[in-house]
Structures are given as C-alpha cells and as structure tokens.
Amino acid sequence: VKVFVEAGGLGFNVTSPFKQKAHTLVDVLDPSAAQCGAVNTVVVRNNKLVGYNTDGAGLILDLTKNLNLNLNTKKILLIGAGGAAKGVLPYLIQEQSKNLVVVNRTLKKAEQMISGYNNSALSACNFEDLIDQQFDLVINATSSSLDQVDLPLPSTLFADGAMSYDMVYSQTETHFMRWSLTMGVKKVSDGLGMLVEQAALAFEIWRGVYPDTKTVLN
C-alpha cells in the first residue's frame, strides 16, 4: 500500500482475507467501516488513507434491486463471523427483517460480533442450535465454497420458497449453491451481483459517479 500511494495511487479495493487488517491500516474510518470493523475500499485524501466498507450496501442492492427480495418480511440466517459477515451485518439489520440470526462454529465470536447492536430481532447461535429452525434467506459469508467444504447445516434449514445466497462468486455454481440445490432450494445465487454493486459504490467514492450496474452484470 505504501509503495502504491507513493507512486501516485489514489484509491484501491481490499478483498478477503485482508479487510480487517485494512481496518487497522487506514488513518480515517468512514462510519460504514467504523461500525463493522472491516474495510474494503480505500481512498487517499490529503495524504491520509480513508477507509470505507461498500460490501454491506452492495449486498443489499443485489438482494433488493437485482434479485427483487423484500427483506423486511424475511427470517434471515447469516453464516460466519469474519470480515465478510461483519461488513454486511449492519446493513442487514437496517432492513428490519423478522429475525436475523448469526451462526458460527465458535459461538463466542458470533456473540461478540452482534454485541454492539441493540436489536431484539438479532441473535447468535452455533450450528447445533439450528435444528428445528427454518429461514427464508440463508447467506453464506464464509469461505467454505472456496475450500469446497460442507458446513454442518441441517437439511431442514430452508423454509418453503427460501433463497440461498453465497457471497463467493464463480463462473459455475459454488459448492454452497450446489448443496442448497440438493436440499430442494429453487432459488440460489452467488455473490457476483454483490461484487458488481460494491465496486460501483467504490467507483462512486473515487470518481463521484455511480455506474450503470445492469450493463456490467449483463
């Protein structure tokens, strides 16, 4: 980063697994990044690094604009408690869903992630607690698809008409998407739309212009 800025670089994106490290690197935090503890977009202003997080807003745009979901009627499960999950959690909370549950292998990490939010619809659990729970939207914010690893999720996880969303993107169905399809889910999506929308938001921060994302997705 130092070499890039010294060479005249004015802004850049940060991807997994460096978003939490970027949070500690920058000089100034925009509220979008301060709240969630992860940075994915950096702009150089007055020789200082200013950190933003456009992931959460990008996810919401993809779910509501591109996939036509009304999130405030949904019971949502967010899988994971790392930088990707931290980046999107406050934006999911803002959508005022019926319930928002964060599940993680280490329960303490999930509890720490939600501890700063005063929201009665928000809770944390471990995978064993998902038995007998069903969700309208399940979002995978882990790297399980990159590692081709099955998550310890019950087969009864999805409610009728549920959607499965993997924040990882791929030219073919991701590992998590394939698992969801075997569970009978009809609507699955990878994170390509989120990638495009968060990039458009970053472009707007750098250039002051929000690109037409539909043409990019097409």
Q: What is the DSSP string of 133-164?
A: --EEEEEE-SSHHHHT------TT-EEEEEEE
Could you give the CA distance from residue 6 to residue 213 in angstroms, rounded to a whole number?
Answer: 31
Asked if 19 is an active-site residue, the reply is yes
φ and ψ at 158, to 5 degrees? -95, 130
| Residues 201, 62, 214, 168, CA torsion sign | positive
3-state secondary structure of 75: strand
Q: What secondary structure letter does DSSP report for 169?
A: -
Q: Which residue has the tokens 């969700």?
A: 135
Per annotation, catalytic residue among 2, 19, 74, 86: 19
Catalytic (active-site) positions:
19
